[in-house]
Amino acid sequence: MKLQWTADLSVSNDRIDKEHQRWIELFNNFYNGIAEGRPKEKLEELILGMLDYTKYHFKSEEEYMRSVNYPGLAEHQESHNAFIKRVEEFHQKITSGKLILSLEVTNFLKIWLIDHIKGSDLQYARFAQNK
């Protein structure tokens, strides 16, 4: 199943909401690539694109959390780093042929994306709003 950005995912910051929308779009492209049986090289390209954008988004978000003096920054950053590590592992395993892209991989990404936005990102949003 593809993902959709909905208003309940809003962190009340335009820039970051747009980034989350783009992030979800990149995930959907990757998901479609698997569903359409695209060649391995294409899927590698898609996962790499998603990884690059994830890094960009995390940096941007961490900057925002810093700017509002969010006390949960360090913990949040750890969660970001763990995710990047995981996706880098996926990418390596795919490149070396040790992992076949499957719905299991996309399921992990999908659940993580949504859980992270709803669980962690909305926490700094609430904090920033109550300041």
Nearer to Fe ion, 13 or 121 (CB): 121
φ and ψ at residue 43, rounded to 5 degrees = -65, -35
Nearer to Fe ion, 38 or 112 (CB): 112
Quick one: 20 exposed, middle or buried, by C-beta within 10 A (0-12, 13-18, 19+)? buried
Say how many residues touch Fe ion, by CB under 5 A: 2
- Nearest of 21, 1, 2 to residue 117 by alpha carbon: 21
C-alpha to C-alpha distances, 76 to 58, 61, 117, nearest whole angstrom: 10, 10, 11
Residues numbered 79-108 forming contacts with Fe ion, rule: CB under 5 A:
none
d(CA 112, CA 118): 10
Segment contacting Fe ion (CB under 5 A): 26-34, 91-99, 104-112, 116-124? 116-124
By CB under 5 A, residue 121 contacts Fe ion: yes
Site string for Fe ion, 32-71 (x = CB under 5 A): -----------------------------x----------
Find the shortest distance in angstroms from Cβ 36 to Fe ion. 27
By CB under 5 A, residue 17 contacts Fe ion: no
Q: Which residues bind Fe ion (CB under 5 A)?
A: 61, 121
